[in-house]
Structure 1
Amino acid sequence: MRVDSTDIPGLLLVHLDVHEDARGWFKENWQRRKLTDLGFPDLGPVQHNVAHNHRRGTLRGVHAEPWDKLISVVTGRVFGAYVDLRAGDSFGRVVTVEADPSVAVLVPRGVGNAYQTLEDDTSYSYLVNDHWSPDATYVAVDAADPALAIPWPIPVADSVMSEKDRANPRMAEVEPMPVRRPMVLGANGQLGRALADAFPDARQVTRDDVDLTDPAAVAALPWRDTDVVLNAAAYTAVDAAETADGRRAAWAANASLSAALARLAREHRCTLVHYSTDYVFDGTTGGPDGHTEDEPLSPLGVYAQSKAAGDLAVGMARRHYVLRTSWVVGDGHNFVRTMQRLAADGVSPAVVDDQVGRLTFTDELVRATRHLLDTEAPYGTYNVSNSGEPTSWHDVAREVFRRSGRDESDVSPTSTAAYGQEMGQGRQLAPRPSNSVLNLSKIRAVGFEPEDAMTALERYLRR
């Protein structure tokens, strides 16, 4: 097998081995492992169609559908023509090829496909990765449009065509098929806002727009038109999750939603990016450089358990990235802003000094997300935080006070147990991991170098 690119992005020619003897011939028309090893997309076919054409000169197309298809000749020969009908710089570009059973063509979503049979009794095979639907977006164009200048071997006027194909519009009248674009879930949270800014063409979905705990509402989102799902939606009220209502809400948002997204992303061939937490570990383990991605999960509280379940569910998506992070700081209510406000108000707080980790700024999470997607890094779980020496919450608070013009000694240390007793006041507080340090070797191995946390903190405070 050999795979060649063409002038239309994503349109690939596959040269197949046809083994022939006195009995006839045999070929592997779709061999997943061989093709993906050659850099071919993992098609994930769900439907197989065959069109038989009685007469030479039959012309079908030009049609573009919202799915990918691998087309090939079963018997006979064809002249194939492919027109890019997607919005973008290559709109209207044409590629032609003469094909027999030794050639297959991967036609990506939004690229129009047409062929003219060059022999009687020609059969044509379509392997597609989505089920046909009458409500999907289809685009067609006139095969005889002079603007395309397709050099059909047999004049279009003399071809056998359907009336529908003869009535297809000219290129000047065609509305390009929109490209698939990202979707940000939880777009009104700290991380969601940062993702929405970094992916300006993304659809932004907030809890006000859609009840993300309603499976029907989630399934009704525009999945066919989405290529990457950035799931920043989560229930993060760690202590409230210990209550009866909070427990149900945490599992609905963090576990059930993640499972639904994994299923839908798999069905619609989306890449699912999901954001996890250091809370999936109990903080009693982790090597000298912190918890690794393959360390067994050991969540303590309800929030932690629901997030751990979500991680496992997301792993069922064929194309997924789980970004496991810690101590997130962004645009909104967070620990750093609270300490900055206390410093300005003259308050001298007591802050826990027996929980150790690293800050993660949302712009760093966004940068890591971009890197994984743009470099097409191997799918899986990646730890992402800012780098530098691990600190305690007490250390961070002292640094904020110092940079805010307060004496850092105005921040006194306390233990997690003492803080919980003081703040609990009869309420059940969730257990926290004492060690939240994440090992960053894996994300570094794919070419991403995290920024030092204190450097990022200084810039954040200046903002």
Structure 2
Amino acid sequence: MTVEFGKQLTVVETPIPGMIVLELPVHGDARGWFKENWQREKMTALGLADFGPVQNNISFNDAVGTTRGIHAEPWDKWVSVATGRIFGAWVDLREGESFGTVFTIELDPSRAIFVPRGVGNSYQTLEPDTAYTYLVNDHWSPDASYSFLNLADETAAIDWPIPLADVEISAKDKNHPRLADVTPIAPHKTLVVGANGQLGLALRSVLGDAAHIEYATRADLDLADAGLATARRWRDYGAIVNAGAYTAVDLAETPDGRRDAWVANAEGPARLARIAAENGITLVHVSSDYVFDGTADRPYREHDALAPLGVYGQTKAAGDVAVATAPRHYILRTSWVIGEGKNFVRTMASLAERGIDPKVVDDQTGRLTFTDDIARAIVHLLTSDAPFGVYNVTGSGEPATWADIARAVFSATGHDPARITGVSTEEYFASATAPVAPRPAWSVLDTSKLTATGFQVRPMLEGLADYLS
């Protein structure tokens, strides 16, 4: 066997999306040779997915011409050769435009290939005593979905170096279906938790009813359930969007509310983070301006220190810390969220229509965030390969007080904005008999990190006009 020495570690793209070839440095002398077959730090720096292998398999082949495949499994593979040489052939068997795309290449110890989930894998040995080795990031399961393609499929038309009639092939591989009869591997599932809340409803509108999108209410999936870790075959999921939360900020100051807020906003996200970390899932979590104390003199940035004032803010901050332990996470911080159901904008529009002249707080400043914009931002982050981490998402434009926004609602609905009387937060809640949560006086978030990823932030007043129309 001849091994090519002296290569630089380099990446070569293939026509199959997500599948890349890596040329590997091999160091040798009269004693033999050495290579780093898998080196996470170096290879991820070149753009290879940090796919989290859990098992290493070796297939030893005595004779030239041993032919195996074409098998597509619901996991990623890192394929290489320890000894000998193979002709490898891969066919994309995933749903989508690239279905049926073929790529072939020879592998020796100085070359490896990353094979994404759902791409059919096959090979033919070109030398005796060939050891074919591969890392995978899941264990075989009878509950998983697999797909197969006939080695002699006329559509794929793989140009095998040794004719299939002259090699040893298992009866099982000979009987696999032609491409027209193959069952494609479905995409990773996306699970939306809290699907009946105001953000969940917006996500339904944006994501639609594709087969790989699942929506779960609390009745379907209780994050407080001790059996959450086994409630799904989590390896089939690529993303979990946590759109649920406890948002009754004043009720959270009561004994029962405090307990419920911690369960929903901290313990639940922590359980999801553990599941995401163990299964290579991207976890999306929606947070709040209430994680800050509102004393800043500029818009809050993602890395600013957390300093929540009340129980609600404390539970949201704890949830952020927990979610950040998942290697693949997006935390979206929002402020003054408006969506379906009862909310400030609808209340003001109703008061205007009924001839009521309200007193509205004028010493809290922020920007509205509409749930359809949050939903768009979530989809953007999941599909744009944006770096994982924390992102602020709100409407853009000049910050405003609640009284300013109330006046804008009155104007937009054809009523006199002078009917709004501005009052302080202390005055507004002066007659309250139930506990009142402290509110941050400054809730303005800096969205420049999100816009740098290519997301267009909608002006707050434009969103308000669209919402009222």
Coarse TM-score class (shorter-chain normalised): over 0.9
Which residue of 2 is the match for residue 311 of structure 1? Answer: 320
User: Which of 153, 156, 167 is the equivalent residue of 1:148?
Assistant: 156
Which residue of 1 is the match for residue 216 of structure 2? Answer: 205
* Contact residue 63 and residue 125 of structure 2 kept, 8 A: yes
Identity level (%): 56
- Superposition RMSD on alpha carbons, in Å? 1.8
Q: Which whole-Å CA distance do the structure 2 matches of 1:444 and 1:95 have between them?
A: 37
Which residue of 1 is the match for residue 297 of structure 2? Answer: 287
* Contact residue 12 and residue 106 of structure 1 kept, 8 A: yes
* Contact residue 388 and residue 453 of structure 1 kept, 8 A: yes
DSSP-derived class of the 2:274 partner: helix
Q: CA-to-partner distance for each residue in 1:132-163, whole Å, 9 max, x for gaps?
A: 32321111222233343222223334433334
Which residue of 2 is the match for residue 231 of structure 1? Answer: 242
Is 1:2 matched up with 2:10? yes
Which residue of 2 is the match for residue 456 of structure 1? Answer: 463
Is 1:380 matched up with 2:389? yes
User: Which of 354, 363, 366 is the equivalent residue of 2:372?
Assistant: 363
Q: Which whole-Å CA distance do the structure 2 matches of 1:17 and 1:402 have between them?
A: 68
Unaligned runs of 5+ in 2: 1-8
Q: Which whole-Å CA distance do the structure 2 matches of 1:399 and 1:262 have between them?
A: 40
DSSP-derived class of the 2:244 partner: coil
DSSP-derived class of the 1:20 partner: strand
Unaligned runs of 5+ in 1: none
Q: How does 1:16-415 map to 2 (within 5 A)?
A: 16-200=24-208, 201=210, 202-217=213-228, 219-284=230-295, 286-288=296-298, 290-415=299-424
Give the TM-score normalised by the residue count of structure 2.
0.93
DSSP-derived class of the 1:438 partner: coil
Q: Which whole-Å CA distance do the structure 1 matches of 2:11 and 2:39 have between them?
A: 13
* Contact residue 138 and residue 235 of structure 2 kept, 8 A: no
Give the TM-score normalised by the residue count of structure 1.
0.94
* Contact residue 250 and residue 436 of structure 2 kept, 8 A: yes
Identify which range, 122-131 or 369-378, moves more after superposition: 369-378
Q: Which whole-Å CA distance do the structure 2 matches of 1:15 and 1:370 have between them?
A: 34
Q: Which whole-Å CA distance do the structure 1 matches of 2:77 and 2:220 have between them?
A: 34
Q: CA-to-partner distance for each residue in 1:53-98, whole Å, 9 max, x for gaps?
A: 1222222221111111100000001111111111122222222112
Seen in structure 2, the aligned counterparts of structure 1 residues 448 and 409 have a Cα distance that, compared at 3 Å, is same
* Contact residue 190 and residue 237 of structure 2 kept, 8 A: yes
Deviation of residue 257 (structure 1)? 1.6
Which residue of 1 is the match for residue 4 of structure 2? Answer: none
Q: Which whole-Å CA distance do the structure 2 matches of 1:419 and 1:122 have between them?
A: 79
User: Which of 5, 20, 28 is the equivalent residue of 1:12?
Assistant: 20
DSSP-derived class of the 2:317 partner: helix
Q: Which whole-Å CA distance do the structure 2 matches of 1:320 and 1:237 have between them?
A: 25
DSSP-derived class of the 1:421 partner: coil
Residue type matched to 1:176 in 2?
A: P
Deviation of residue 123 (structure 1)? 0.5
Deviation of residue 218 (structure 1)? 6.0
Residue type matched to 2:297 in 1?
A: G
* Contact residue 241 and residue 247 of structure 1 kept, 8 A: yes
Q: Which whole-Å CA distance do the structure 2 matches of 1:291 and 1:42 have between them?
A: 31
